[in-house]
């Protein structure tokens, strides 16, 4: 790497990983070893696990050049997912670009809860699910993949983000069971549409929290998908107001929220006469993550 031209010691895969881990740690990366492995595997065109059986191999000059460029961009804050163009979510690989939010593990709880709710419904009819603010399409696509008797409507205000979601749906073979709509929350829907479940990972970062975001998030991920206004509930308030009109009787609304505004979201639901608040689900860190409501 930096002293590559001045040392006689060969730049093996093992040495590249060790040097890059230390380098990225010095640049403040949260997971420098993982970052180094993902970037080198991408440059080498292999699975990350394959690196472990090739520590003594000397990669070609072209691989080292590609790797060096990726590491340089990572050091200046570009997220690894954008550098390699993909991110795993719910055991599936999804294309991600700077037009979409990078999927987080916490959002998998939305998928799990929706799957559990469908299991509780004893119906031979095709169930309808809406994913509001679909982004890269991870939630909609995972639900369509695991629920063969469901039709999903994926709504996104950003046309460029929706294009990413459509490519991901085609990649996973579920495009024919997802209706993609460009629009602002549920306003894109015909008035007669009804859903058994409406799920959403809306913008919920407050103005204060936006100013405190890590550099790789604040400078690279789309603020449209993050910024929830002063209290972080600006978009959520509108969605809660719209949802009852589009929910079937006893249909469910599932909202991913931040731990700092979960109580506020619960209050907003309690104030809506058409919705009944249910227990808020916590993530693996014990933080409030998914607020649940059922149409009365």
Tell me how far apart the alpha carbons of residues 271 and 122 are, in angstroms, rounded to a whole number.
30
pLDDT score of 124: 60
Q: Is 250 annotated as a binding residue?
A: no
Tell me how far apart the alpha carbons of residues 220 and 229 are, in angstroms, rounded to a whole number.
19
Q: Are 73 and 83 in contact (CB under 8 A)?
A: yes
Three-state DSSP state, 236: helix
**Global confidence as pTM:** 0.93
288: its two tokens: 């409030």
154: its two tokens: 């994926």
Over the stretch 137-163, which tens digit does the pLDDT of each residue have? 999 999 999 999 899 999 999 999 999
pLDDT score of 119: 86
Q: Is 246 annotated as a binding residue?
A: no
pLDDT score of 120: 80
Q: Is 133 annotated as a binding residue?
A: yes
Q: Is 57 annotated as a binding residue?
A: no
Q: Is 173 annotated as a binding residue?
A: no
Averaged over successive runs of 10 residues, the pLDDT of the chain (296 residues) comes to 60 97 95 97 96 96 97 97 97 97 96 93 78 98 95 98 98 97 95 95 96 94 97 97 96 97 97 98 95 96
| CATH code for the structural domain at 87-295 | 3.40.50.150
Q: Is 135 annotated as a binding residue?
A: yes
Over the stretch 279-289, which tens digit does the pLDDT of each residue have? 999 999 999 99
Q: Is 137 annotated as a binding residue?
A: yes
Strand order across the 247-256 sheet:
178-182, 150-156, 127-132, 195-200, 247-256, 288-295, 275-282
Q: Is 202 annotated as a binding residue?
A: yes
Q: Is 26 annotated as a binding residue?
A: no
165: its two tokens: 């979601």
Domain ranges across the chain: 13-76, 87-295
Q: Is 156 annotated as a binding residue?
A: yes
> CA 119 → CA 141, 163, 246, 251, distances in Å?
18, 31, 21, 14
Cα atoms found within 13 Å of the Cα of residue 139, Cβ hemisphere only: 35
4: its two tokens: 């590559």
């Amino acid at each position: 790497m930096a002293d590559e031209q001045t040392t006689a010691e060969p730049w093996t895969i093992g040495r590249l990983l060790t040097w890059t881990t230390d380098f990225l740690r010095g640049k403040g990366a949260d997971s420098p070893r993982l970052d180094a492995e993902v970037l080198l595997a991408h440059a080498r065109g292999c699975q990350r696990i394959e690196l472990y059986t090739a520590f003594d191999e000397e990669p070609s000059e072209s691989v080292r050049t590609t790797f060096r460029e990726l590491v340089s961009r990572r050091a200046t804050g570009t997220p690894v997912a954008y550098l390699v163009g993909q991110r795993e979510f719910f055991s599936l690989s999804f294309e991600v670009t700077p037009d979409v939010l990078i999927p987080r593990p916490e959002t998998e709880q939305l998928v799990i809860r929706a799957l559990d709710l469908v299991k509780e419904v004893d119906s031979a009819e095709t169930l309808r699910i809406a994913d509001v603010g679909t982004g890269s399409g991870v939630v909609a696509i995972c639900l369509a993949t695991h629920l063969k008797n469901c039709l999903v409507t994926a709504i996104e205000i950003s046309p460029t983000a929706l294009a990413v979601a459509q490519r991901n749906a085609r990649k996973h073979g579920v495009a024919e069971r997802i209706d993609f709509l460009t629009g602002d929350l549920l306003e894109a829907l015909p008035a007669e549409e009804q859903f058994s479940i409406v799920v959403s990972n809306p913008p919920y970062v407050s103005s204060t929290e936006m100013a405190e975001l890590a550099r790789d998030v604040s400078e690279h991920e789309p603020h449209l998908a993050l910024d929830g206004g002063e209290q972080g509930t600006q978009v959520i308030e509108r969605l809660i107001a719209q949802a009852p009109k589009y929910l079937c009787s006893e249909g469910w609304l599932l909202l991913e929220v931040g731990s700092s505004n979960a109580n506020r979201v619960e209050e907003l639901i309690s104030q809506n006469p058409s919705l009944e608040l249910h227990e808020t689900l916590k993530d693996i860190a014990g933080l409030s993550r998914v607020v649940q409501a059922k149409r009365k």
